[in-house]
């Protein structure tokens, strides 16, 4: 199995802490593999096979465990006396009322519980309400560019980055690196599974064509403010009737499935979040290429999307920055402070460089400010305190952003 060391470190950090570990993420991003990697780690530290209880509820062999009482009894019988038992439940949402099973296990001594499942279920109100304050979420994303290079064995080149943008970053897509037609089919399969199982089935959506229209519109407008009314008007103009409330509900379901991530604006001067004019980014660029096949890609918006996901991977809370009438692409906040980022394909034209630097120059605090582009020529330049880096170097940690 290919390693995901950063996520594995997070699980190790929370090992035997009295919290339920909830591994969330879009389908096929590697949650089950992470669980297997952690089990391997436990065994390497001397944990015995009898201390590990793992079930995958999508496996037909475990069909009888899809009753919550049966599942609980099965797990309870396998708990060890006098030493830790590590319980792993994969695709836990397959069991109705699984929350009662998880909560009951949590109440027992020396039981360390780990669960995975679709984000659409993990973020539903039932689990959060029942386990409030008693769980920690490990949120997974598809491969970072560094992980993609490690999985494929490719070097840090523009060609590798182009493939990363076009075919996306799901782990198995990286395994199909030289078989692009198979990769496209695989991405299409993930897309349809999410659309049908995690969105349409959960929300009781019968008219899939309306849902697909919304997905396509959102995919074409990543990194831009999305007007719900405009989407609604466009669908109604095509002869299908849909209300603004319905469009909002479908968009919320798409973010719950983690196909899209919503990002709110942040007033830098006032220091507060704003609820208007938010933007959406897609969890994998391969989805966007699939949905907008044939249209010219907007490289600037794709770069923004990649940078946004990388900031989330690095543990930042991310917003769009507002400073007067200007916009900063990303305000990335962490317990250690905050950073500001502008993202552009190129700033070799003087006017473009001026426009990208201006919002950052208007910020009066002393937090780090960065300009990320594909330019090699100006990489490493310091514009009066604003560091410019090549985005591929930044993605692969080839630059020291601490200086």
pLDDT digits (tens, 9 = 90+) for 111-152: 999 999 876 666 566 666 777 778 898 999 999 999 999 999
Give rounded-to-5 percent helix, strand, coil for the chain. Answer: 45, 20, 35
Rounded Cα distance, 57 and 66, in Å: 7
β-partners of residue 119 are none
pLDDT of res. 126? 60
Q: Which residues pair with 137 in a beta bridge?
A: 22
Q: What is the per-residue pLDDT across 34-91, written as a single tens digit (0 to 9) for each?
A: 999 999 999 999 999 999 999 999 899 999 999 999 999 999 999 999 999 999 999 8
Say which CATH superfamily domain 5-139 falls into: P-loop containing nucleotide triphosphate hydrolases (3.40.50.300)
**pLDDT at site 148:** 97
User: Do the beta carbons of residue 248 and residue 306 sit within 8 Å?
Assistant: no
Own/partner pairs, 105-109, CB within 8 angstroms, 24+ separation: 105/72, 105/75, 105/76, 106/20, 106/131, 106/134, 108/79
pLDDT at 403 over 50: no
- What is the H or E stretch that residue 245 is in? helix 244-256
- pLDDT in the model for residue 295: 77
pLDDT at 24 over 50: yes
Strand pairing report for 369-373 and 272-282: unpaired
CB burial string 221-251: b at 16+ within 10 A, e below = bbbeebeeeebbebbeeeeeebeeebbeebb
Q: List the chain domain ranges.
A: 5-139, 145-262+279-294
Distance (Å, rounded) from C-alpha 322 to C-alpha 265?
7
Q: How confident is the model at residue 365 (pLDDT cuts 50, 70, 90)?
A: very high
Sign of the four-CA dihedral 177, 180, 186, 187: positive
What pLDDT, in 10s, does the model give residues 187-234?
Answer: 999 999 999 988 998 889 988 999 999 999 999 999 998 889 999 999
Longest dimension (CA), the chain: 70
Strands (E), 160-308: 260-267, 272-282
Percent of the chain with pLDDT over 90: 80
Spatial contact of 35 and 114, defined as CB atoms under 8 Å apart:
yes
- Please state, in angstroms and rounded to a whole number, the distance separating the CA atoms of residues 91 and 95: 8
Spell out the SS3 assignment of 319-374.
EEEEECCEEEEEEEEECCEEEEEEECCCCCCHHHHHHHHHHHHCCCCCCCEEEEEC
Indicate the pLDDT class of residue 377, thresholds 50, 70 and 90: confident
User: Is residue 385 very low, low, confident or very high in pLDDT (cuts 50, 70, 90)?
Assistant: very high
**Quick one: which of 94, 92, 114, 117 has its CA closest to 105?**
114
Query: Over 90: is that where the pLDDT of 317 sits?
Result: yes
Sign of CA dihedral 8, 13, 18, 22: negative
Distance CA 399, CA 160 (A): 19
* 302 vs 232: CA distance, rounded Å: 25
pLDDT band at 158 (very low <50, low <70, confident <90, very high): very high
Q: Inform me whether the pLDDT recorded for 107 exceeds 90.
A: yes
The secondary structure of 10-24 as a DSSP string is HHHHTTT-SSEEEEE
């Amino acid at each position: 199995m290919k390693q995901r060391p950063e996520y594995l470190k997070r699980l190790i950090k929370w090992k035997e802490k009295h919290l339920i570990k909830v591994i969330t993420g879009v389908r096929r991003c590697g949650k089950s593999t992470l669980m297997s990697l952690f089990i391997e780690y436990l065994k390497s530290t001397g944990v015995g096979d009898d201390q590990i209880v793992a079930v995958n509820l999508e496996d037909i062999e475990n069909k009888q465990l899809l009753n919550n009482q049966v599942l609980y009894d099965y797990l309870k019988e396998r708990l060890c006396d006098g030493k830790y038992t590590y319980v792993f439940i994969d695709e836990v949402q397959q069991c109705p009322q699984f929350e009662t099973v998880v909560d009951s296990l949590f109440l027992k001594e020396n039981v360390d519980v780990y669960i995975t499942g679709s984000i659409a279920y993990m973020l539903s109100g039932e689990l959060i309400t029942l386990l409030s304050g008693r769980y920690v979420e490990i949120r997974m994303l598809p491969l970072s560019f560094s992980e993609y290079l490690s999985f494929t064995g490719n070097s840090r080149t523009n060609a590798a980055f182009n493939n990363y943008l076009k075919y996306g970053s799901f782990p198995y897509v990286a395994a199909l690196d030289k078989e692009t037609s198979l990769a496209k089919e695989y991405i299409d399969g993930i897309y349809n599974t999410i659309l049908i199982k995690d969105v349409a089935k959960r929300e009781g959506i019968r008219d899939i064509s309306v849902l697909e229209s919304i997905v396509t519109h959102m995919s074409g407008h990543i990194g831009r403010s999305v007007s719900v009314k405009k989407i609604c008007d466009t669908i109604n103009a095509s002869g299908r009737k849909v209300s603004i409330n319905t469009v909002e509900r479908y968009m919320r379901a798409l973010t719950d499935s983690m196909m899209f991530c919503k990002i709110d604006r942040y007033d830098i001067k006032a220091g507060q979040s704003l609820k208007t004019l938010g933007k959406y980014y897609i969890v994998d660029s391969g989805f966007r290429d699939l949905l907008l096949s044939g249209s010219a890609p907007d490289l600037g918006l794709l770069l923004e999307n990649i940078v946004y996901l990388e900031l989330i991977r690095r543990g930042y809370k991310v917003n769009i920055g507002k400073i007067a009438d200007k916009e900063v692409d990303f305000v990335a906040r962490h317990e250690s402070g905050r950073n500001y980022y502008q993202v552009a394909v190129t700033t070799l034209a003087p006017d473009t460089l001026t426009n990208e630097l201006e919002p950052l120059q208007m910020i009066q605090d002393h937090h780090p400010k960065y300009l990320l582009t594909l330019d090699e020529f100006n990489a490493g330049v310091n514009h009066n305190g604003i560091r410019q880096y090549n985005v591929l170097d930044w993605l692969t940690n080839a630059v020291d952003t601490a200086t």
